[in-house]
Amino acid sequence: MGTLSFMPWTTVYEPVKVGAFTLRPVILDKSGAYECNPAAAWVDPPADVLDILKVYRNRPNMRADSDPSTGIISSATVIQFGERPVTDDLSDEDIENLFSFREAFTFSGLAEREFFAHNGYCNKDSFTMIGQRFSAAAKGVSLVSRRLDGTTTAYWPLEYVEFRKDAHIPELRSYHTDGGLAGLLLDRMTDDEPLALAVAHFNSANTDRSNENAASDLIWLVSAYQQLLGSNGKCDDLRSKLAELMLCVPVCEGRPARASLLGWLQRQKRQPSAREAWILDLCTSRGNVAHGHRPSAFKTAVWSLQEHLLLGSYLFPLLVKLKLCKDGARSLRDNERRDLALFDVMCTSENLMGSVDKMRGVPSAYRWNEVRRTALFRVDTNWSCG
């Protein structure tokens, strides 16, 4: 019995060390040599490994396909546990550690993605990680499914098994990462349960799955903020904790461009900053969703649900890095200080989801990027987390 741990939709460019784990690119056929550094890849995996990986397809199942090999992934990433063989059998405890690694590595990938760009975007499912137990020369796969009353297991011969990539998953080939943030998080998550929950909940809010309601993403996202900031669950406490963590980040002064925010601010007895107003509205929207309030309750929201998910997913990884910086665990990079300082401008701008130019009806330039570009001269990036 052995276990193969792998990511079918991501191929690291070269081996990456993260804690006790090493990620290695594996090439299934010659076209995969262009998706990684072939000199550092596993180029001749045994038949058992190939049998497992070749059931993963990155193209839809089309009736015109006469070749049964159509769409088979040409490369992948395998995960090695310590110095053990890649296919060494893993215990239940090892598998649990693998899942913790998955959360840390996924978060590190989401923390570096780009919004409104043709390249550089990813979601949680881009980093799908599988631990597949197998027997030598096995000719089938046992699939275990969860049920409310336990589990059910079905056995399928290999020739009938295909796992196709869903359309919402961006593939990451030639994926470059140094593993630094993932390794740091993995080490700290072992003894810091709130951080581990914050990371896992943030990842769950960033799947982009079309069969999941965006309202569920909002609940996961706010839970991530509550765990990270140590909030007691009250919206004002969440506001206070965010303000405290971001106290070192200069407030970008100026009249908000968002008309609904101006109206909201005029109704407040005390004038919160833009970042405080945003997280108060985020928390209120989450309450409306979680408690099943009628759609009319959302009419007073300053930001739409989709805008909250976008802004919240932009800010959260930066807050994790800011918190690590305050703890002395890592330094903030120049671009991270810039992106934190830009948040006030981003959340007070109108129509962040819109386009500013189109080519044949398809957006070619986006409001998000325009706001960031024009705001650079307004923000102060000369600050430290200390």
In terms of Cβ atoms closer than 10 Å to its own Cβ (0-12, 13-18, 19+), residue 269 is exposed
For residues 23 and 257, what is the distance between their CA atoms, to the nearest angstrom?
Answer: 45
Q: What pLDDT was estimated at residue 65?
A: 52
Q: What pLDDT was estimated at residue 202?
A: 98
Q: What percent of the chain has pLDDT over 90?
A: 60
Check whether 22 has a pLDDT greater than 80. Answer: yes
Q: Are 165 and 171 in contact (CB under 8 A)?
A: yes
Q: Are 8 and 126 in contact (CB under 8 A)?
A: no
Q: Is the pTM of this model over 0.75?
A: yes
For residues 382 and 386, what is the distance between their CA atoms, to the nearest angstrom?
Answer: 12
Q: Are 98 and 57 in contact (CB under 8 A)?
A: no
Residues 325-357: tens digit of each pLDDT: 999 999 999 999 999 999 999 998 888 888 888
Phi–psi pair at 151, nearest 5 degrees: -140, 165
Check whether 66 has a pLDDT greater than 70. Answer: no
For residues 335 and 372, what is the distance between their CA atoms, to the nearest angstrom?
Answer: 12
Range in 71-85, 158-172, 265-279, 302-316 with the lowest mean pLDDT:
265-279
Check whether 33 has a pLDDT greater than 70. Answer: yes
Residues 118-143: tens digit of each pLDDT: 889 999 999 999 988 888 777 788 88
Across 10-24, 86-100, 362-376, which has the greatest mean pLDDT?
Answer: 10-24
Q: What pLDDT was estimated at residue 256?
A: 67
For residues 379 and 274, what is the distance between their CA atoms, to the nearest angstrom?
Answer: 14
Phi–psi pair at 26, nearest 5 degrees: -130, 135
* Torsion of Cα atoms, 314 then 315 then 321 then 322, to 10°: 150
The Cα-based distances of 25 to 86, 92, 180, 286 in angstroms read 12, 25, 18, 40
Residues 88-117: tens digit of each pLDDT: 998 889 988 999 999 999 999 999 999 998
Residues 267-302: tens digit of each pLDDT: 776 778 889 999 999 999 999 888 776 666 566 788
For residues 59 and 55, what is the distance between their CA atoms, to the nearest angstrom?
Answer: 12
For residues 64 and 268, what is the distance between their CA atoms, to the nearest angstrom?
Answer: 62
Q: Residue 274 is inside which H or E element, if any?
A: helix 274-290
- DSSP string spanning 26-40? EESSGGGGGGS-GGG
Q: Are 230 and 360 in contact (CB under 8 A)?
A: no
Check whether 155 has a pLDDT greater than 70. Answer: yes
List, in sequence order, every beta strand (DSSP E) within the chain.
Answer: 2-7, 10-12, 16-18, 21-27, 56-57, 75-81, 130-134, 140-147, 150-157, 163-164, 172-175, 355-359, 362-366
* Torsion of Cα atoms, 23 then 29 then 34 then 37, to 10°: 40
The Cα-based distances of 38 to 4, 32, 85, 181 in angstroms read 21, 8, 20, 25
For residues 145 and 155, what is the distance between their CA atoms, to the nearest angstrom?
Answer: 11
Q: What is the mean pLDDT of residues 182-204?
A: 97
Range in 68-82, 168-182, 358-372 with the lowest mean pLDDT:
358-372
